[in-house]
């Protein structure tokens, strides 16, 4: 089984995990408090530079695993997979309630995840996940590849009164909800990508494989 990627870094709520230019992006593994609490603090580490050759080979395509032990409701962690950040958000009951609210769904361009190849078939549901409590999503904007900002706060002044919490891309203003679904009338054309993933235990998630046998 592949090792979980464990480096911790700090991310301030309301700020991007990394710089928007993919070439300069430092892929980091983070545990981020996003429910209005203080950000966790630790040293940032350039991910690729810190890798051994075997680790770099694994990052090129092999699955990675993550453990959600200790992940509190309303917080998320980030793992690096195939050179991109994958967020694992543990959603609260309030967050889940919004996701199938008709008033919220009316704001979205693809509420039913009808666009193909943006998610595995098992994630074509209201929560875009295997387990509704956890969102597993690639943290790359589908417009031009920036890293959106976690904004779970409802109706913030800088985004708008109609904001229900989600991910905001400051590059050109694209908006995604807490299932990674894109809003109408924003530059991003599609929902965020849900990677192939499965659970090997209640808390351990393997990203990059649908099951123990099939790589994706």
Q: Please list the active-site residues.
A: 172
Work out which of 96, 144, 154, 193 binds ligand FES, going by CB under 6 A: 144
- DSSP letters along 137-167, please? EE-S-TTT---PEEE--SS-TTT-TT--SEE
CA quadruple 115, 118, 123, 129: dihedral, nearest 10: -130
Helix (H) or strand (E) holding 168: strand 166-169
Q: What is the 8-class DSSP label of residue 82?
A: T
CB–CB of 128/137 below 8 Å? yes
Work out which of 56, 97, 172, 184 binds ligand FES, going by CB under 6 A: 172
Tell me whether residue 58 or residue 177 sits nearer to ligand FES (CB atom). 177
Tell me whether residue 188 or residue 206 sits nearer to ligand FES (CB atom). 188
Work out which of 141, 182, 205, 207 binds ligand FES, going by CB under 6 A: 141
Residue 9 vs residues 2, 73, 79, 111: alpha-carbon distances, Å: 21, 19, 11, 33
CB of 51 to ligand FES, least distance (A): 26
Does residue 33 touch ligand FES according to CB under 6 A? no
Please choose, out of 102-110, 116-124, 139-147, 155-163, the segment that lies near ligand FES by the rule CB under 6 A.
139-147
Does residue 171 touch ligand FES according to CB under 6 A? yes
- Residues binding ligand FES (CB under 6 A): 141, 143-146, 169, 171-174, 187-188
């Amino acid at each position: 089984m592949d090792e979980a990627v464990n480096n911790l870094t700090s991310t301030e709520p309301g700020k991007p995990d990394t710089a928007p230019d993919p070439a300069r992006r430092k892929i980091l593994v983070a545990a981020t408090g996003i429910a209005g609490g203080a950000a966790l603090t630790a040293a940032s580490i350039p991910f690729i530079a810190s890798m051994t050759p075997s680790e770099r080979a694994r990052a090129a395509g092999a699955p990675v695993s993550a453990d959600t032990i200790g992940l509190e409701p309303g917080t998320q962690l980030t793992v690096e997979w195939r050179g991109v950040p994958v967020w694992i958000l543990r959603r609260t009951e309030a967050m889940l309630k919004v996701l199938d609210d008709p008033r919220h769904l009316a704001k979205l361009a693809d509420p039913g995840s009808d666009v193909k190849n943006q998610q595995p078939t098992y994630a074509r549901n209201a929560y875009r996940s295997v387990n509704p409590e956890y969102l597993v999503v690639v943290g790359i904007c589908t417009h031009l590849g920036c890293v959106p900002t976690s904004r779970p706060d409802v109706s913030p002044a800088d985004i708008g009164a109609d904001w229900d919490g989600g991910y905001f891309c400051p590059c050109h203003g694209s908006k995604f909800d807490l299932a990674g679904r894109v809003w109408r009338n924003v530059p991003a054309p599609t929902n965020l990508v849900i990677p192939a993933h499965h659970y090997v235990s209640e808390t351990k998630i393997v990203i990059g494989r649908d099951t123990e046998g099939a790589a994706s």
